[in-house]
Each structure stands twice: as structure tokens, then as C-alpha cells.
Amino acid sequence: MKVKAAPHSSNVVIEMRPGDSSMPATPLPELRLKKILVPVDFSEPSRKAMAYATSFAKQFNAELLLFHAVPIMTAPAPMYSIPLETDARLREESSKQLAQWRSALPAELSSKAIIGDGASAYAQIVQTATENNVDLIILGTHGRTGAARWLIGSTAERVVRYAACPVLVVREREHDFIAEQKNGSTFAE
């Protein structure tokens, strides 16, 4: 086998003889994941996304950032002067649930819980990913179609569209490439 520069271009010419069996190995770019953002709404699709994120974090020794977006509750116009205690209660409950999810992670994984609040979940996810210099977002989707998707919208679709980093969307029902754990689930409860 001979490898030489091609005339009049920056290409390479590889000449192989009948006895040569294969092409030379080409190096693949190395993947480096340092931070993985996992937006969760505490649903089964989020649990499944968490399983994928845990596997990626183990393989790349990456930090997991668990994120939950708490919607801002607004009062009707005549009641604006009355503070809503619902927001604080939602943040507190979300914080407790995120702590439970973090405690189910393997001890060797570095993780952090982040709670955001705002009007749109997708904008909060994209902003959090940018602010934390995230390398990958892994999120679950409910897979709504038709009228439900039109009325509710797809957070996952918007995250894919606006995120500055790669996004892995884990569907509720799909061909999985992650192995189940001994207890039959992919993420410990």
C-alpha cells in the first residue's frame, strides 16, 4: 500500500495492491463531555432520560446537572397586590424531588440540582445550558401528537431548535440502547 499526495490538490491518493486487505485506520475525533444537563419534570420520560444521562456521565466522567423549571404562577389582574405562596411551595417541593433523584445517583458521580423559574421551560433549559457551559442536554419527551402537541407544544422540539449544544431526546417508547439494571429499571427510584 502506498500513500502519497495527489497532484494539484490537497487530497491524498492511496494505492493498494491485490494482496492489501484493508484501509489504514483513521483516527476518530475524541468526544469530551464535562457537563450534561438533564431537564426533569419528574415523569417517566424524565426518568428514562436520567438513565441515559447517568450512563453517559459514568463513561465520560462528566458532571450531571439536574434541572427543573418551576412555572411562575400569576394571579388575575385585580389580585396582583396579593403575594402568591404557591410559587414558594412549588420551589420547595421541586427541590425535595430533585434531592431524591440526586440521592438515587451512583455515589461516584458529580451532580448538582438547579431550579429555574420563568414563563417557558424550553427558554430556561437553553439559558441554563448556556450559562453552565453544558456539553450535552439529555431530555425526555412525552411524544404527544396531533391536537395535544398543537395546544401544549413540544418543549423538547424547542430545546433542539434553540440550544447551542447537542441534544439527545429520549422518547417514552423506543428501541433502547441502554442496559437495564438488576432491579429491572434503568434508573433507581
User: Which of 13-27, 73-87, 117-131, 144-158 holds the top average pLDDT?
Assistant: 117-131
The grid coordinates listed for 128 are 441554563
Query: In Å, how far from its chain's centre is CA 144?
Result: 19
Kindly report, residue by residue over 93-130, the tens digit of the pLDDT. 989 999 999 999 999 999 999 998 877 889 999 999 99
For residue 174, the 8-state DSSP code is S
Q: What is the pTM of this model?
A: 0.72
Query: Could you give the CA distance from residue 42 to residue 106 in angstroms, rounded to a whole number?
Result: 18
**Residue located via cell numbers 486487505:** 21
Domains and CATH numbers, the chain: 30-171 (3.40.50.620)
Contact 51, 172 (CB under 8 A): no
83 vs 40, residue with greater confidence: 40
